[in-house]
Amino acid sequence: MTDVNVVSVVMPERGVFLVRCPDSISIDECQPGRKAIVMLDYGLDSGEIVSAAQYDPAIHGDRVPGYRLDRFLQDGDAERIAENSDLADKMKSSFEETVVADVPDFRILSARLSFGRSRLFLRYISERRRPDLSRATSEMKSLFNVSVNAWQVGPRDEVACTGAIGPCGRICCCASWQKRFPTKVNPLKNMNQAGVNGICGRFKCCWSFEN
């Protein structure tokens, strides 16, 4: 197994998958930032390469990943991704209309259709905790033959999805360069600064990075 190469790929939803690199693709071709098509458990999807290395059980676990790198993004793939975006908007509207009948404050922040068009990824907000989405999910399967992954998100995620200008006058960290929210934010040492919270109402993410 020492001759197996593995690649870390970050998806648009910020999840990272470890995939196996086929023999036809060299590790030198897998440069960080390069777009690729990967085969996951729900079919083909597009992501961005983060890193590549030779498989090491001590680092990557005792099993070679079942997911695999299918190929790099090609010129013709951009057209399909654009079509997927239009389809995702139609699915989003249909899904939202069905749920709003039962949950009036339900609102979808983002919708993305996987490259292979088998999975719809939704992020939504609602004051109701874990609203019942089963009827809408069943309708999506019946109308569009897609499975739905829906995440209820909080204020930080809402800003990250919609984008906004922070109190500093720049685009919010979460909506620009920040890949993941900080696990710990301690504003106590900065209490002398004006404004404890960002526009999302939570402690400013930037305080985790300033030092």
Note the pLDDT tens digit of each residue in 26-66. Answer: 999 999 999 999 999 999 999 999 999 999 999 898 899 99
Strands 107-113 and 119-125: antiparallel
Asked whether the whole model's pTM tops 0.85, one would answer no
Average pLDDT of the chain to the nearest whole number = 85
Angle, CA 18 vertex, CA 17 and CA 21 arms, to 5° = 125
In the structure, what pLDDT confidence band is assigned to residue 20 with cuts at 50, 70 and 90? very high
Longest dimension (CA), the chain: 57
Backbone phi, psi, residue 175, to 5°: -100, 0
pLDDT at 15: 87
pLDDT at 170: 75
Tokens of 121: 């990824």
pLDDT at 116: 96
- What would the DSSP string read from start to end of 62-95? SS--S-EEEEE--TTHHHHHHHHHHHHHHHHHHH
pLDDT at 172: 72
Read off the pLDDT of each residue in 116-144 and give the average, rounded to a whole number.
93
Q: How far apart are CA 96 and CA 114, in angstroms?
A: 19
Q: What does the pLDDT look like over 70-100, one tens digit per residue?
A: 999 998 899 999 999 999 999 999 999 999 9
**If you count DSSP H runs as helices and E runs as strands, how many of each does the chain have, helices first?**
4, 8
In the structure, what pLDDT confidence band is assigned to residue 122 with cuts at 50, 70 and 90? very high
pLDDT at 4: 92
Q: What does the pLDDT look like over 145-202, one tens digit per residue?
A: 999 999 998 766 666 666 667 777 777 776 667 666 666 656 555 555 556 677 676 6
C-alpha 202: how far from chain center: 21
**Torsion angle in degrees (nearest 10) through CA of 151, 152, 156, 158:** 90
Domains and CATH numbers, the chain: 5-73 (no CATH), 78-153 (3.30.300.20)
Q: Where are the beta strands (DSSP E) in the chain?
A: 5-10, 16-21, 35-40, 43-54, 68-72, 107-113, 119-125, 147-152
% pLDDT > 70, the chain: 79
Q: Is the pLDDT of residue 67 over 60?
A: yes
